[in-house]
Amino acid sequence: QTAVYCSTGIVHIADGPNVIAGPSSIAVTWVSDKQTTGYVQVYEGNSYVSEQGHTSYSMSHAVTVVGLKSERAYRYKLVWTDSSGNLGESSWYNTTTAEKPQIINLRSEIISPSQVLIIWGNNYSATSKIEYGIGNYDTVVTISGEATNSTKYLSGLAGGSDYRLRVSADTSDGTEFSAGITFSTPPLPAISSLRFEPVAESAQPAVNASWTTNVETTSTIYYGAKGEGRREISQSDKVKEHKIKLENLSDNTTYEAYVLGIDNYGNIAKSDINSFITSLDTRPPKIENIIVETSNVGLNREDTAQAVVSYQTDEPAKCTVEYARGISGDSYDNKTADEEALITGHINVISDLVPRTPYHLRVICLDKSNNRSQSSGQTITSGEVQESIFNIILKTLNSLFGWLKIL
């Protein structure tokens, strides 16, 4: 106990003083054995700082001195007046204010171009508010209650924008502190430079569709002849430079197309509808991989050979095989039946060939635009036929007697 002698008697401090130091304040409590006012006088070294207290008479005293600086050594004493107007004071006491309050690890996590999560902590329990904006702090969000760790979703942001943000906080003793960051929202996806370029030397009309997006997105194109249904081609890889080949188009036809893409946040960019016209098909089909296989056929009294001609065309076409006797020549007296459908894999059978006889042949093809192509001439020799028993007997009798020549 500290006794202070006044002109009318002694005032004893029955309990205390007890002090709780905050970052910018000290809260001092004590009990006196007589009713007095209560003040706390604070010095930093020998320099006077502040005196705060209450004028009411009480035996229990609680005084909070505010406006101090964090992490500073102070000394203080208790000062009072009793009901008779006598002044009194205590001895000196020492204390140190607490560490400076801080915002800890303030950061942003981008959720989408329009939404961000703000995360931070405090080294003291404190109330907080967020102020943010594009180039200013014109939007304020107050966080309810006191906390040491906080999160807050901010929505309705503008994509592709630079934001300034600060968190301001107040401790229970009224200490204000703040911290700030900047963050940028990703832009919403946008499509530019959509173009359609014909593919040269394509068997059927084809177009390369290409476009650019400002962020990585998937690639999808919807296209079709004007006035007809649309087909879809999609690529799931996310890129900025996009290219899709449109194949098997009709020639000299107006097509309509639009493209779209989805970014990493699920935002969709869609182009306007564009149109392009395919070129007139003047390219004949290419004939490739011609294979000729000869075989023999023996039926009743007729002994003949046949050839099977197989080949491919690089676009659907109707084809036939023209052929004639002889190793070579410009005339082709015979041909197989014309194919009825436009196809790319072809097989034609040449029947009734004379065995062991050379023939020359070529393939003639027409595509749907009646562009005509023909292969170079090829020479084959029909196979040797195993003769029927009837023909063998006739030849034997003829060689022996010669009488069959009249037949």
CATH number at residue 117: 2.60.40.10
Residue 301: pLDDT band (50, 70, 90) is very low
The torsion angles phi and psi of 201, rounded to 5 degrees, stand at 55, 35
- Pick from 101-110, 321-330, 333-342, 396-405: least confident: 396-405
Residues 221 and 241 in one domain: yes
pLDDT value at residue 395: 52
pLDDT value at residue 294: 86
pLDDT value at residue 201: 79
Residues 210 and 273 in one domain: yes
pLDDT value at residue 405: 47
Q: What is the mean pLDDT of residues 120-129?
A: 93
pLDDT value at residue 172: 84
pLDDT value at residue 191: 97
Residues 88 and 115 in one domain: no
Task: State yes or no: pLDDT of 1 exceeds 60.
Answer: no
Q: What is the mean pLDDT of residues 392-397?
A: 48
Task: State yes or no: pLDDT of 5 exceeds 50.
Answer: no
Task: State yes or no: pLDDT of 243 exceeds 50.
Answer: yes
Domain end call among 277, 310, 330? 277
Of 324, 25, 1, which is closest to residue 176 (Cα–Cα)? Answer: 25
In a domain, 282, yes or no: no
Q: How far apart are CA 183 and CA 120, in angstroms?
A: 15
Residues 142 and 86 in one domain: no
What are the pLDDT digits (tens) for 252-298?
999 999 999 999 999 999 999 999 999 888 889 999 999 999 877 65
Question: Is residue 396 classed exposed, middle or buried when 0-12, 13-18 and 19+ CB atoms within 10 A define those classes?
Answer: exposed
Contacts by 223-226 with C-beta closer than 8 Å and gap 24+?
223/255, 223/256, 223/257, 224/255, 224/256, 224/257, 225/250, 225/253, 225/254, 225/255, 225/256, 226/253, 226/254, 226/255, 226/256, 226/275
> Domain containing 368: what range?
287-381
In a domain, 404, yes or no: no
- Pick from 44-48, 343-347, 393-397: least confident: 393-397
pLDDT value at residue 107: 97
Q: How far apart are CA 38 and CA 30, in angstroms?
A: 9
In a domain, 402, yes or no: no
Residues 139 and 215 in one domain: no
Residues 299 and 365 in one domain: yes
Q: Tell me how many domains the chain contains.
A: 4
Token readout for 369 is 């635009």
In a domain, 398, yes or no: no
Residue 7: pLDDT band (50, 70, 90) is very low
pLDDT value at residue 203: 80
Token readout for 172 is 């229970």
pLDDT value at residue 391: 52
pLDDT value at residue 394: 53
In a domain, 321, yes or no: yes
What are the pLDDT digits (tens) for 183-208?
999 999 999 999 999 998 788 889 99
What are the pLDDT digits (tens) for 89-104?
999 999 999 999 999 9
Token readout for 40 is 């706390």
Residues 64 and 109 in one domain: no
- Pick from 168-182, 275-289, 295-309: least confident: 295-309
* Residue 193, phi-psi category: left (phi > 0), alpha (psi -120 to 50), beta (remainder): left
Domain end call among 162, 184, 206? 184
In a domain, 393, yes or no: no
pLDDT, mean over the chain: 89
Residue % of the chain over a pLDDT of 90? 75
Q: Read off the pTM.
A: 0.61
In a domain, 314, yes or no: yes
Domain end call among 277, 308, 334? 277
- What is the number of H-type helices and E-type strands within the chain? 1, 25
Task: State yes or no: pLDDT of 312 exceeds 50.
Answer: yes
Question: Is residue 161 classed exposed, middle or buried when 0-12, 13-18 and 19+ CB atoms within 10 A define those classes?
Answer: middle
Residues 177 and 195 in one domain: no
In a domain, 166, yes or no: yes
Token readout for 198 is 């014909």
pLDDT value at residue 398: 54
Residues 293 and 377 in one domain: yes
pLDDT value at residue 65: 95
Residues 72 and 30 in one domain: yes
Residues 69 and 117 in one domain: no
Residues 195 and 150 in one domain: no
What are the pLDDT digits (tens) for 12-21?
899 999 999 9
